[in-house]
Structure 1
Amino acid sequence: MVHFQGITVEIISDGQTLDFYDDPDAAGVEESRARHLYIEAVAGSTFELDVDITPEFNLYNMKAGHAVEVVVKIDGRPDSELGESYTKKYLQKEFSRGKSVGVTFAGPGHYCEETGQWMQSDYSFGNLVLRETSDASLSVQQAQDLGKIEVIVQRIKMAKQQTAIPSRTPIPTINEVPEKALKGRPIETTVTLTNARPATEPTAYIATPLLGEAGKPVVFNICYRSRHALQMLGCIPRSPSPAIEISDDESHEAAVKPENSSFMTGSSNDPSNTSLTGSAGSPGELLRQIQVLNARIIDLERVNVKAEELNSGTVIKEEGSSAKRKREEDGTGSSSQRRRMPAKIEHVDLTDD
């Protein structure tokens, strides 16, 4: 859930509370009246929005005839708006008891002419179909607001409730769009309606938004995206590759096996002498062979050092296990060669003279 300006918003999908992710592009930007968030949308799952007005909500300078309205809008479409309002008197009464005032939006209703009754549907996430042809009925603003759920909380002047004007068709949903309309945005899901069932007749009211500072709404812009799209946007990390795990005993065994030195003796009957790409049956085996080769390289370095010692009669100090020879810079900046001291030769006169 997310809490902002005394308002709490929670989205429940298939019985699970969805996590909210901050907009990476709005990181560090101070938001006074709006929040920009992301959620993960799984195609085929139903969802509902729970909105609570808590006692922290500011009722300052709110007149007796005013009310607080909570509106949910899907994909920026005015015909998708669902709302609920609460008078100042009712809010003050609940706040004085330390209670919040909440409303749940699970889906819209419409009047079915075939059955002669009102029907209620549930919100659901669906797959968005992309096509190449353009659609003149899809405006630029509709394309821009696609993939967004808005929760708007504002002060209004409310008139008396009246019977709702029957809607002859369900709220239209956008199931397919031209690919060019998205302009590269990673939108793969849409909001659809499902589980239509009989419902009671709703009521409607006439609301007039207040002007000035008191009428400024608090807005939650919630973009719903697939998990893949959230990873592309940087909202959630990409799934890491599985790590290769080898126990310390296996690593030590691979490093000290006798066959590790067979390479320097020219042994060819060691099965691990085959190609890495051809003999590695698993990532663990590949890593083990790499460790074997590293051990052989160390052995070869030691052999070269010992051979050089025998030829020169000079002892070379090893650094760790790699037996690297230390080179020092002389005063001119060029590396100085290790100097070999010539052996002293004595001349003996064997003549009788």
Structure 2
Amino acid sequence: MDHFQGITAQIISNGQVLDFYDDPDAPEIPESRARHHYVEAVAGSTFQVKVNLTPQFNSYRMKAEDAVKISVVPDGNIGGGGRAVKYTKKLLQESFSRVYRCSHTFTGPKHFCKEIGQWMRSDYSFGNLVLKETPDPGFSVKQAEDLGKIQITIQRVKMEKRQVAYVPSTIPIETINEVPEKALKGRSIETTVRLANARPTSASVHSHISKSISGEAGKPVVFNIYYRSRRALQMIGCIPRSPSPESQSPDDDATAPEHVLQEVRDLRARLALLERGLNVKSESSSAATGVKREREEEGNKGSRQRRRTTVKIEHVDLTDD
């Protein structure tokens, strides 16, 4: 049974749908209720999470007042950046009859700014993760367990008639921006989810109480989206490494711009002059050395000849007979 029938999820960054990459080392588990994908995260870019339901979605055991709950939790931050929305079976059927699908896009969470007395909405964005040598006081390694992951959950729920007032949070939503390196436990995580572009929005007034439908129908399906930098994806093996740049061949001169060709010709001419200068200097040095050696040899030869000359001494007898 395909538990994801009629369900798709997308990560949209700067208007572009990001490609999903599969972990080459992760085994494929048939009929699993969890799917794992990787996406490339670029620090500084905003993103949205979009979930689509089509008529192929299995609404078995759902009554008209039952609903589908879709929730998004980045970095395990349930109380802060998490979002959720519910669509009743009746609303789903109406959407399917009009536009063939029911879609929802999560752009970011809300919070109430006490200083200005205004509800604010922020965008999800990718930011650089700062690694520290020592953790801050009160930091728990458990906080970093879900770092680098966006979890999307789809579940069939039973709606209660009761409603509860939505209590505004006056505390700014916290995100994990820096962690000690040992908390990553060897994971190659360089980015984190942050909030950006806070702007005024309308208030959330109430929320319905819900609980999962009993039995098999109430079990959730989960998308685990792991966001990583391009370098990290290459290290994992999700995408091939970039080839090393090749050296320019002589044939490339035909397609190079004219000013580049002129610079190449000038450099080659200067190199030729330098080589000729080095050759002349080398030959001059060799000739001078040869003359010096020749003179030294001649001088040494004369000295040797003079030393070999034998002086004959003539003895004259001056005595009288």
TM-score range, shorter chain: 0.7 to 0.9
Size of the alignment, in residue pairs?
Answer: 250
Match of 2:208 among 190, 205, 208: 205
Contact 2:65-2:90 within 8 A present in 1 as well: no
Q: Which amino acid is 1:164 matched to?
A: Y
The residue that corresponds to 1:108 in the other structure is 109
CA distance in 2, matches of 1:141, 1:95: 41
The runs of 5 or more residues in structure 1 that have no matched partner are 251-270, 275-353
CA shift for structure 1 position 212: 2.2
CA distance in 2, matches of 1:76, 1:51: 19
> 1:85 aligns to what SS in structure 2?
strand
Contact 2:77-2:175 within 8 A present in 1 as well: no
Q: Which amino acid is 2:95 matched to?
A: E
The residue that corresponds to 1:294 in the other structure is none
Moved more, 155-164 or 234-243: 155-164
The residue that corresponds to 2:176 in the other structure is 174
The residue that corresponds to 1:226 in the other structure is 229
Matches for 1:124-143 after TM superposition, within 5 Å: 124-135=125-136, 137-143=138-144
User: Is 1:17 paired with 2:17?
Assistant: yes
Identity of aligned residues (%): 62
Q: Which amino acid is 2:237 matched to?
A: G
Matches for 1:1-353 after TM superposition, within 5 Å: 4-79=4-79, 80-97=81-98, 99-135=100-136, 137-159=138-160, 160-203=162-205, 204-244=207-247, 246=249
CA shift for structure 1 position 31: 4.9
The runs of 5 or more residues in structure 2 that have no matched partner are 254-271, 276-321
CA shift for structure 1 position 76: 1.2
> 2:38 aligns to what SS in structure 1?
strand
Q: Which amino acid is 1:148 matched to?
A: K
Contact 1:158-1:208 within 8 A present in 2 as well: yes
Q: Which has the higher contact order (CA 8 A, sep 6+)?
A: 2
CA distance in 1, matches of 2:61, 2:50: 27
CA distance in 2, matches of 1:116, 1:98: 38
Moved more, 137-146 or 218-227: 137-146
User: Is the alpha carbon distance of 1:235 and 1:170 closer, same or farther for their aligned partners in structure 2, counting shifts above 3 Å?
Assistant: same
CA distance in 1, matches of 2:187, 2:163: 41
CA RMSD between the two structures: 2.3
Q: Which runs of 4+ in 1 moved over 6 A?
A: 247-250
Larger gyration radius, structure 1 or structure 2:
2
CA distance in 2, matches of 1:211, 1:150: 23
Q: Which amino acid is 2:104 matched to?
A: V
Q: Which amino acid is 1:212 matched to?
A: G
Contact 2:69-2:155 within 8 A present in 1 as well: yes
Q: Which amino acid is 1:153 matched to?
A: I
CA distance in 2, matches of 1:13, 1:161: 35
CA distance in 2, matches of 1:198, 1:177: 31
CA shift for structure 1 position 248: 8.3
> What is the TM-score of this pair, normalised by structure 2?
0.72
> What is the TM-score of this pair, normalised by structure 1?
0.66
